[in-house]
Structures are given as structure tokens and as C-alpha cells.
């Protein structure tokens, strides 16, 4: 009968199995072939099971100087309900000096007060998306291997980058609209300083310029339905010939644009076309369903992690852009013929 108040250690298992702590470590670490007999190994495994042994990861991490864990940094929280749960919980936790780590069951969400303080205990590398400069400085200060998602490849950080081919997506949207006959476009731009949004504006301008007689009007809005509504309404009631299509930086903005258009009495797509970018569930929830650019988020994640693994293994990561795909639905049509 061992002390049951505290968690069992490998030494407790060793004692229970009548072997040394080293043997336990070998067996449970799966490094015993030819070093420990099969019968002894089984005895150790049984003892570990009986005691409910779980290795202490803090000790293991300290010993190995390595954690087999990486940090994925995302720009902001898109989840709605559990984002709120996290925010509230994290606030109280912080007040108690605690950090919070989210776990997605079975897929996935994320962690902590100060990511680099509370995470460095368990990090071999970082994947970061569209981050603030100061956070990046903190990461670099840690000298952790870093992969950037959707960031300027010419940025001076010297980190590997993995990007969605947003530029091509914008080209596809533009080609689609130009082909339908649209010439005057309202660009509903996300009011967020991020490379990925700069690309949209730049590429839209560049590709529209290839056709003569085109015109782009720009409205900026925070990424929220209400923000998009207000900005769109203002832009469309401004003087001058009305745009015949609204190109939105993402689907959420498009949902806001829908509301503004309804309020202005404009029918989609008869009076005005709308496009999004992301292909969220929202895109098919609204009426008419949204013509948008599908981003393969999973593939994106896979490529990002592959790149990080390459860096960790000393290989050169490949900087390939991930293809995207235009999905044409009911929100785009030829512009109305002028009376």
C-alpha cells in the first residue's frame, strides 16, 4: 500500500514492480527491446496500469529540453459562443494570476494569458498568422522556429511563410464580374491592418485596370455585420453613378452588405451583385447564397505545419502558395441594363 495522497511517480511503479526506476523509464519509453525481458516489461506495464501512473510532463520536458508541442497563433477569435466563454474565463483567471488553455474536443481550440510566458514551457516552434509586431518581437526573442501564415513573404522577419493564393482568388472574382459585364465596383474592405487584406486591394486594382473604363470605389469597415452594413449604406448613398457589384473582403462583411442592400431596397443579384471570400457556413445561410472564394483551411493548416516540421528538422521549407477556388452561387448576375 503506497502513499495514495500524491500522484504516483515512476519510482512508485518501480517499487510496485520490484525493479529500478530506470527499468520503468525504459519500458514505458518503449526503449527496452533487448534491455529488459518480456516478462519484466509486462510486470512494469501492469504496475503502471494498476497505479494509474501518468508521467510528469514538466519533469520530462525539463529532462529532454524539448516538448514536442508547437504553438499556433491565430489573429483573433472567430468562434462566437465559446470565444465569449473563453474571454470571460480568461479574464477571471488572469485576475487570479492563472492562464487558460482551451482544448477542442474532438477537433479544436486554444490557450493563454501571455502565450510566450505560459507556453514556452512547452514549445518547440510557432506558427503565427497576421500577428501584431510586438508579439512577433516576443517570439523572436525566444528564438523559436517560426512559420508565418498569410504574411508578407518579403517581411524582414526571416521566417518561413505559407500563404493562401488570395491574389489568385481576387483575380478569379474580378474576372467573373468583368465577364458578367460589371465595370463599377464597390470594394468593401476590412479595416484591419494586415498583409492579407492589402493583397486584396492591390490585386483588385491591378486586375480591374486591365479592362478600360472600370472604376473602384472603396469602403472600409471593421469585420462585423453591423460595421459592414453602415459602411455599405454610406458608400452606396454617396453621389455619383452607383456601383453594380460589391466585392467584400470576407463573407461576414458580405452578410452586412446584404442587410444594407435590403435596407436600400436593392435586390441581389438583379440590381446589384455581391461577392465574399472564405466560404463560411454563413455563405449558404443567407439568401441568395453567396458567390465567394473557397479557402481550404485544413490544407492551409497542413502546409503550415509541414513547413514548421521542415524547419524543426533542419530542412528547407517550401514556400508554395495554396490554391483557392471561386464558388459561383446566386449573388452574382449581369448588371442591370440602364434604362
Partner DNA sequence: GAGCGGAAGTTATACGTAACACTTGGAGGC
Partner DNA sequence: GCCTCCAAGTGTTACGTATAACTTCCGCTC
Nearer to DNA, 49 or 63 (CB): 63
d(CA 76, CA 274): 25
Q: Which residues pair with 220 in a beta bridge?
A: 189
d(CA 34, CA 31): 9
Query: Where in 31-60 is the site for DNA (CB under 7 A)?
Result: 31, 34-37, 39-40, 53, 55-56, 59-60
* 302 binds a second copy per the rule CB under 8 A: yes
Query: Where in 253-272 is the site for a second copy (CB under 8 A)?
Result: 255-256, 258-259, 262
37's contact among a second copy, DNA, none, with CB below 5 to 8 A by partner kind, is DNA
Backbone angles phi, psi at 182, to 5 degrees: -70, 140
Query: Where in 209-228 is the site for a second copy (CB under 8 A)?
Result: 224-225
Q: CA separation (Å) from 36 to 23, 28, 60, 306?
A: 7, 11, 21, 36
**Residue 209 burial by CB count (10 A; 0-12/13-18/19+): exposed, middle or buried?**
exposed
Residue window 33-52: x/- pattern of binding to a second copy, with contact defined by CB under 8 A? -------------------x
* Least gap, CB of 184 to a second copy (angstroms): 25
28's contact among a second copy, DNA, none, with CB below 5 to 8 A by partner kind, is DNA
Query: Where in 269-288 is the site for a second copy (CB under 8 A)?
Result: 278, 280-282, 284-287
* Least gap, CB of 33 to DNA (angstroms): 9
Query: Where in 158-197 is the site for a second copy (CB under 8 A)?
Result: none
Helix axes 38-51, 21-28, angle to 10 degrees: 90
| DSSP secondary structure letter of residue 213 | T
* Least gap, CB of 145 to DNA (angstroms): 18
* 10 binds DNA per the rule CB under 7 A: yes
Q: Which residues pair with 149 in a beta bridge?
A: 129, 162
Please, what is the Cα angle at 162 between 61 and 246, to 5 degrees?
130
* 25 binds DNA per the rule CB under 7 A: yes
A 10 A CB-CB count for 103 gives 9
127's contact among DNA, a second copy, none, with CB below 5 to 8 A by partner kind, is a second copy
* Least gap, CB of 95 to a second copy (angstroms): 9
Biggest alpha carbon distance in the chain? 94
300's contact among a second copy, DNA, none, with CB below 5 to 8 A by partner kind, is a second copy
d(CA 254, CA 274): 7
Please, what is the Cα angle at 277 between 186 and 81, to 5 degrees?
115
* 97 binds DNA per the rule CB under 7 A: no
Half-sphere exposure (Cβ direction) of 275: Cα atoms closer than 13 Å: 31
Which of 29, 84, 155, 181 binds DNA (CB under 7 A)? It is 29
Strands 146-149 and 125-129: parallel
Query: Where in 136-165 is the site for a second copy (CB under 8 A)?
Result: 141-143, 149
Query: Where in 62-81 is the site for DNA (CB under 7 A)?
Result: 62-65
* Least gap, CB of 306 to DNA (angstroms): 25
Interface positions with DNA (CB under 7 A): 6-7, 9-11, 18-23, 25-26, 28-29, 31, 34-37, 39-40, 53, 55-56, 59-60, 62-65
Amino acid at each position: 500500500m503506497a502513499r495514495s495522497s500524491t500522484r504516483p511517480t515512476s519510482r512508485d511503479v518501480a517499487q510496485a514492480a520490484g525493479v529500478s526506476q530506470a527499468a520503468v523509464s525504459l519500458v514505458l519509453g518503449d526503449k527496452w527491446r533487448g534491455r529488459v525481458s518480456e516478462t519484466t516489461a509486462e510486470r512494469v506495464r501492469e504496475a503502471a496500469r494498476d497505479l494509474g501512473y501518468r508521467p510528469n510532463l514538466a519533469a520530462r520536458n525539463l529532462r529532454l529540453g524539448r516538448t514536442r508541442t508547437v504553438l499556433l497563433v491565430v489573429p483573433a477569435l472567430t468562434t462566437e459562443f465559446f470565444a465569449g466563454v473563453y474571454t470571460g474565463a480568461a479574464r477571471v483567471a488572469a485576475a487570479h494570476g492563472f492562464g487558460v488553455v482551451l482544448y477542442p474536443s474532438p477537433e479544436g481550440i486554444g490557450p493563454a494569458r501571455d502565450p510566450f510566458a505560459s507556453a514556452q514551457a512547452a514549445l518547440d516552434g510557432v506558427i503565427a498568422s497576421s500577428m501584431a509586431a510586438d508579439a512577433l518581437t516576443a517570439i523572436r526573442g525566444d528564438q523559436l522556429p517560426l512559420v508565418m501564415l498569410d504574411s508578407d513573404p518579403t517581411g524582414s522577419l526571416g521566417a518561413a511563410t505559407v500563404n493562401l493564393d488570395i491574389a489568385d482568388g481576387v483575380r478569379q472574382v474580378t474576372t467573373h464580374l468583368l465577364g458578367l459585364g460589371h465595370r463599377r465596383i464597390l470594394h468593401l474592405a476590412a479595416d484591419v491592418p494586415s498583409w492579407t487584406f492589402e493583397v486584396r486591394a492591390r490585386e483588385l486594382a491591378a486586375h480591374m485596370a486591365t479592362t478600360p473604363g472600370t472604376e473602384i470605389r472603396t469602403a472600409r469597415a471593421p469585420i462585423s455585420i453591423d460595421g459592414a452594413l453602415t459602411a455599405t449604406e454610406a458608400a452606396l448613398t454617396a453621389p455619383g453613378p452607383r456601383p453594380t457589384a460589391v466585392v467584400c473582403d470576407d463573407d461576414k462583411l458580405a452578410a452586412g452588405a446584404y442587410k444594407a442592400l435590403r435596407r436600400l431596397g436593392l435586390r441581389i443579384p438583379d440590381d446589384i451583385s455581391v461577392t465574399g471570400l472564405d466560404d463560411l457556413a454563413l455563405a449558404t445561410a443567407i439568401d441568395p447564397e453567396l458567390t465567394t472564394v473557397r479557402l481550404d483551411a485544413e490544407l492551409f493548416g497542413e502546409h503550415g505545419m509541414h513547413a514548421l516540421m521542415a524547419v524543426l528538422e533542419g530542412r528547407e521549407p517550401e514556400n508554395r502558395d495554396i490554391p483557392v477556388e471561386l464558388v459561383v452561387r446566386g449573388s452574382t448576375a449581369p448588371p442591370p441594363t440602364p434604362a
